[in-house]
Amino acid sequence: MERLRRMAIFASVVERRSMRAAAAELGLTPSAVSQHLRRLEHELGLALLHRTTRKLTLTPAGEQYYEGCAEMVRAARLADERLAELRDELVGELRVAAPAGFAGPVLTEPLAPLLAAHPRLRLTLLLHDENIDLVEHRVDLAVRVGMLDDSGHVARPLAQWRALLCAAPHYLASRPSIDSPDALASQQWLLHGRDNGTIELSGPEGQTHRLRVEARLNVNNMPALRDFTLAGLGIALLAEPEVRALLARNRLAQVLPAWSTPPITIHAVTPRRDAQPATVRAAIAAFREYLAH
């Protein structure tokens, strides 16, 4: 590494035709620059510069060696510029992982404007209902729902969605009226794969109710869970933004609307917290803005 540093110092001296000018640019003293050049010549076994009190001139060996040193410095500067682009501009590839159920507006609404505004940005989406290894799949940002495993990654909350007990009206019409949490125990339950079968409810006057239910259907895909609920097979806990329109059109009905369940937290998960490129920062901000509505 010292050799590379001395090569860069040599290139600076040649380009500025002065040890003093090179020293000023590099933040060194002229004597330190001279010492580095002497050591470089000693390591190479060749003289690179002719020094007089008035000027510096290259030896034939120095002329040839300078081309390689200058190319090394140019490559290093180009690498810095490219990294600065990644840090400050929306360029290059952004790899995002999300649940398969997010295929649709949850992804397109926040991400499409970024692609449209930044032509040099490329997007790769990995849709899995299981949590994939972010490092193995080179994922820059994962959108994850609910409880997180202790992966050592960094999780930032993006939004909290209300979780609603929902059922199809024809399912509710076929069974006795559900007027209290106790009536839930005898219902048909449709659960998401991440649910543990425990339903926690908070009442309008601060009362709480907890019950264990057995799933008639357990599926790890949220759109499938919603479709089975629409088919009238039972009651499910569904995220309010995903069923808002269905409730408005009376295709689904909320069960025990006076009682609430713990909210569903949406997280942005990244392999590390610091030194995030601009693409990741912009995507997190776009998701946070969209999911907050």
Here the CATH number for the domain that contains residue 233 is 3.40.190.290
Tell whether 176 and 253 lie within a shared domain.
Answer: yes
Neighbours of 210 (CB within 10 A): 9
Number of independent structural domains in the chain: 3
- Which one-letter DSSP state was computed for residue 260? B
Domain end call among 83, 118, 142 = 83
**Cβ atoms of 21 and 15 closer than 8 Å:** no
Tell whether 153 and 236 lie within a shared domain.
Answer: no
For residue 277, what pLDDT is reported?
Answer: 85
What sign for the dihedral angle of Cα 268, 274, 275, 278?
positive
For residue 152, what pLDDT is reported?
Answer: 73
Q: One digit per residue, pLDDT tens: the chain, 293 residues?
A: 788 889 899 999 888 888 889 889 889 998 999 899 999 889 989 889 888 767 788 898 888 988 999 899 888 888 877 776 666 678 889 999 998 888 888 899 999 999 999 999 999 999 988 888 888 899 999 999 876 665 678 889 999 999 999 999 999 999 999 999 999 999 999 998 777 789 999 999 889 999 999 999 999 888 899 999 999 999 999 999 889 999 999 999 999 999 999 998 999 999 876 668 889 999 999 999 998 87
CATH number of 137's domain: 3.40.190.10
Tell whether 172 and 258 lie within a shared domain.
Answer: yes
Report which residue type is found at 106. V
Tell whether 171 and 135 lie within a shared domain.
Answer: no
Q: Print the domain residue range for 246.
A: 163-262
For residue 119, what pLDDT is reported?
Answer: 92
